[in-house]
Structure 1
Amino acid sequence: MQFSTLALAVGLTAATAQAQDKGTVHLAYVEWSSEVASTNVVRAALEQQGYEVEMTALSAAAMWQAVASGDADAMVAAWLPTTHQDYMDRVGESVEDLGPNLDGTKLGLVVPDYSELETISDINDHADALGNQIIGIDPGAGLMGLTEDVIEAYDLDINLRSGSGATMTAALSSAITNEEEVVVTGWTPHWMFARWDLRYLDDPENVYGGAEQIHTVTRQGLEEDMPEAYAILDNFEWSPEQMGEVMLMNQEEDADPYENAKKWVEENQDVVQKWLSES
C-alpha cells in the first residue's frame, strides 16, 4: 500500500513536471458572451493536456493586433467573412486562419417578438418610441461598424449608442420587462435568444450579410513552436447549441465562466476527445 501511494505521488510529480514543460498558451478574446464561453472551453481543453493558459480580454482590433504581433498565440473569436474582415485585410499576412470552429452565426438588429417593427426601414417610423437610439455594444466591434453602414444605407435618423454586451442586454431586459419598443445590435449564438422571445429585423439591403462563421486564428510560427497546442486549436469545433449550453451556465448568478468551462469539458469528453485525438 505504501509503495502504491509512493508510486502515485511520483507519477503525479512527473505529470506536473511534464505539464510545466509544455509551456504557456496565450489566448486573446473579446468579451462577447459567445467568445467568453469558447475561449474558456479551449483553455480547459488545453489545460487537460498539460498546458498553462493565459487569457487576455481586448477590443476586437487589439485582439487581432495581439495575435498578428505575437503578443498572443491564438484566438477562437474571429467572425468571418464579414464582421472582422477589415482586421483580416490589415494583418492577414501575419496570422494563420485555421478555419471555422463554429458554423451558423448571424448578425443584425434584434427586437422583442411583440415589437411592431418588421424591417430595418421601419425604425424611422418608431424613432420616438425607441428613444431615438439603437442600443449597441463596444465601439470597436465590427458589428458596430456594420450598424453604422446600416444607418446610412437605410437613411435612418437615429443614434447608435455604444456600450458593452452587458449594457446592451440590460437595456433589452429593462425594455422587455416594461413591454417597450427597443432595438439592439445582436448576434447568434447568444444566450438572450434562449431567455427571451426575440427576432431579427428583416434586412432587405443585406448590409449585415448572410450567415458567418467563427474562426480560429493563430500567430505565425505557433505550429513549429507548439505543435500539439496548434493541433488542438486546429481541431477545435463545436455547435451553436453546445456553445449555448455554456453561455446559459455563465448567466447564472455568481457564475464563473472558467469553472463552467471546466465542468462542460469534463461532462463532454466525447466531444473534447475529438479535438485531442489528432494532436
Structure 2
Amino acid sequence: MKKRNSVRMIACVMASLGVVSASVQAAVPEVAEPVKISFINSSDSDFIAAVYGQALKQAGYEVKYVTVDSAAQYTAVQTGDIDATLGAWQTTGVEMTKAALASGKVTNYGPTGVKVTEGWWFPEYLTQSCPGLPSWEALKQPKCVEALATAGTAPKGRFVDAPADWGSRSDERIGQFGLPLTLVNSGSPAALLATFQGAIDRKQPILGWMYTPNWFTEKHPGSFVQFPDSRLEVDVLKLGNKGAFARIPVAEKILRNLSLDKEAVASAMDQIDNEGSSPEEEADTWISAHQDQVQGWAK
C-alpha cells in the first residue's frame, strides 16, 4: 500500500504542475455542462467509468458521476439522464443493451477491452460435497443439496445471488433446470463478496453469483458451474447517448478509443474494496502510468 500511495502522490503533484493534463491533447470543451457518466456502486465497473471521466477532466471537460442501479443505466442512457455508461456487460445486460440500441437514441462505442465472465461460482472445496462439478447436474445430488442447505433454506440448498438490480435471472435458471435451491439476494456487491469470504474462512459449502475480473477469484481457487448456455470471456461495451455526443466530438473520440485490460481492473478493485481507495483515485493512478496510451485516445 505504501508503494501505491507514493505513485498516487506523484500523480497528484504532476497534475498540480499541469503535466498530467497535458497527456490528453483535446480542444477546448465544446459545451459548458458536465459529461454525465454512470456509477453503479460496483468497483469494477466504476473504475472503468472513472478512467474515462478522469481522462475527460484532464482534457478540460466538466464531469459528473451519476449513481444509478445496474439495470437502470440502460434506460438512463436513452433518456439522457446519463451521457455514457462503460458497464454494459454482455452477460446479464445483453438484452437491455439490445433494447437501448433499438431505441435509436444510443450508440455502441465498442468494447472496453475488458473480457468478463459472470455466472454461478463455487470454491474448489465444494467438489468434495458435490462430486461432478462443474457440471450443473452435480447440484441435484442429495448430498450436495444437504451440504448447501442452511437453517433458512433447508431442505433446499442456498444460492447466494447478486444484488436484485443486476438482473442475473438465477431464479429462471433454478426453475429451468429443476434445481432444489432457494435464492437469497445480496444487498450489494460488497455484501456478496463478504458472504463468500465468510463461508470460505469457515470452509463452509457455498454456491452463488460471481464475476471476473475480480481480486476475490484471484485469491480463492474456484470455478464456474457449466450450463449448456454458459458463456465465458464476453465483452463489456461502452454506450453513449447520441444527442449528447453529437455536441462533444472530442469526448466521443476518447470514449470510442478507450481500452483497458482485466488485470488493471482486478488491481484497482483490490485497492477500492480492501484498501479504502476510490474509483477516481485508482483511475488517476492508472492514467499517470499510461500517459502515451491516454494521449492516443484523443487522436
TM category, shorter: 0.7 to 0.9
Verify: 1:148 aligned to 2:171, yes or no: yes
Using the TM superposition, give the Cα deviation of residue 60 of structure 1 relative to its aligned residue in structure 2, in angstroms.
2.3
Q: What amino acid sits opposite 2:145 in the alignment?
A: A
Correspondence for 1:87:
96
Using the TM superposition, give the Cα deviation of residue 19 of structure 1 relative to its aligned residue in structure 2, in angstroms.
6.6
> Is the deviation greater in 131-140 or in 212-221?
131-140
The one-character-per-residue Cα deviations of 1:243-272 (angstroms, maximum 9, x if unpaired) are 222112212332222212211211222332
Q: Which runs of 5+ in 1 are unaligned?
A: 1-7, 13-17
Tell me if structure 1 keeps the 8 A contact 2:108–2:239: yes
Correspondence for 1:267:
289
Using the TM superposition, give the Cα deviation of residue 227 of structure 1 relative to its aligned residue in structure 2, in angstroms.
0.6
Verify: 1:28 aligned to 2:38, yes or no: yes
Using the TM superposition, give the Cα deviation of residue 226 of structure 1 relative to its aligned residue in structure 2, in angstroms.
0.6
Using the TM superposition, give the Cα deviation of residue 70 of structure 1 relative to its aligned residue in structure 2, in angstroms.
0.8
Looking at structure 1, the residues matched to 44 and 37 of structure 2 have their Cα atoms a distance apart, in angstroms, of 15
Using the TM superposition, give the Cα deviation of residue 30 of structure 1 relative to its aligned residue in structure 2, in angstroms.
2.2
The one-character-per-residue Cα deviations of 1:52-84 (angstroms, maximum 9, x if unpaired) are 11112211221111110011100000012x421
Correspondence for 1:129:
147
Looking at structure 1, the residues matched to 245 and 50 of structure 2 have their Cα atoms a distance apart, in angstroms, of 21
SS in 2 for 1:71: coil
Verify: 1:158 aligned to 2:176, yes or no: no
Correspondence for 1:167:
191
Please give the TM-score of this superposition, normalised by the length of structure 1: 0.85
What is the aligned counterpart of 1:105 among 88, 92, 116?
Answer: 116
What is the aligned counterpart of 1:195 among 197, 204, 219?
Answer: 219
The one-character-per-residue Cα deviations of 1:136-195 (angstroms, maximum 9, x if unpaired) are 1211213x21x2232123211111211221111001100110011111211121221122
Please give the TM-score of this superposition, normalised by the length of structure 2: 0.79
Correspondence for 1:218:
240
Correspondence for 2:255:
233
Looking at structure 2, the residues matched to 219 and 21 of structure 1 have their Cα atoms a distance apart, in angstroms, of 15
Looking at structure 2, the residues matched to 85 and 35 of structure 1 have their Cα atoms a distance apart, in angstroms, of 16
Q: What amino acid sits opposite 1:162 in the alignment?
A: N
Q: Which runs of 5+ in 2 are unaligned?
A: 1-16, 22-27, 150-156
Tell me if structure 2 keeps the 8 A contact 1:67–1:95: yes
